[in-house]
Amino acid sequence: MSVFIEGDRTLFVSKGAIERFKKDVKEVSSTDLIDNSKYLKEGYCFNFVKKDNDIIANIISTKNVVNLEEKRRQLREKLNMIKRSRSGEAFKHLESLKRTVPDKIYKSYSHLMKNYGLPNIPAPDEVINNIDKYRTQIASVMGITTQVCNIGGASNAIKHYFNALGQFLGIEPIDMSTSMSQLQNQTRERLTHDSDTEDEDEPPELIETKE
């Protein structure tokens, strides 16, 4: 077996670590047992590729690994959501909604479920039958100007659906930035008031006079 190293060799902790690394790779039963920190500087790791009887060790940044794993996780999550949304029960529910809710709401909800299948998104019939339960959630989502989730494309679909619900139910959006600003101002005023009250409660300082 031969071990080939791809990448910047100056990222090894020492010159001796290179030969030690090659020797250890040949002896371990699995490259998963290799401890990157014994050979590479902080922030880097090996990505192993086996080709015939050879092993190619690519030196990569751990940030790339984290990003790759996150993308894989998001893809798995999206595929699972789509799979759930295409189940017979979900399809029947969507078909029943087509006859009972406004067309705009149905289309936005159907698009959201068929393309992303996101969990914890209330169905339109559930919302319409229990408006008070979802009023704050709808108003908050309508007032958010940033993304509401990290799955590409789903954020706009969620906003579109909640906006359709809010417009139909007559719910006004909550300006989240203004709400935070008001909260900060209220906290500041409360602290100022408490400070003024403490000063008023202190007894006046006595001034001695000489006759």
d(CA 156, CA 140): 14
Give yes or no for a contact between 134 and 127, defined as CB atoms under 8 angstroms apart.
Answer: yes
Domain boundaries, the chain: 2-66, 88-196
State what percent of residues in the chain have pLDDT above 70: 69
Q: What is the pLDDT of residues 69-121, one digit of tens each?
A: 666 776 676 666 666 555 556 667 777 788 888 889 988 888 888 787 676 78
Q: Which band of pLDDT confidence, cut at 50, 70 and 90, is reported for residue 20?
A: very high
pLDDT (tens digit, 9 = 90+) per residue, 158-197?
A: 999 999 999 999 999 887 665 455 545 555 565 555 445 4
**Is the Cβ–Cβ distance between 111 and 103 less than 8 Å?**
no
Separation of alpha carbons 148 and 143, rounded Å: 11
Which of the four pLDDT bands, split at 50, 70 and 90, describes residue 29?
A: confident
The β-bridge relationship of strands 54-61 and 2-6 is: parallel
CA 34/CA 152 separation, integer angstroms: 35
User: Could you tell me the maximum CA-CA distance found in the chain, to the nearest angstrom?
Assistant: 108
What pLDDT does 84 receive? 59
* Side-chain-facing half-sphere of 202: CA atoms under 13 Å: 8
Contact 116, 161 (CB under 8 A): no
How large is the average pLDDT for residues 48-62? 86
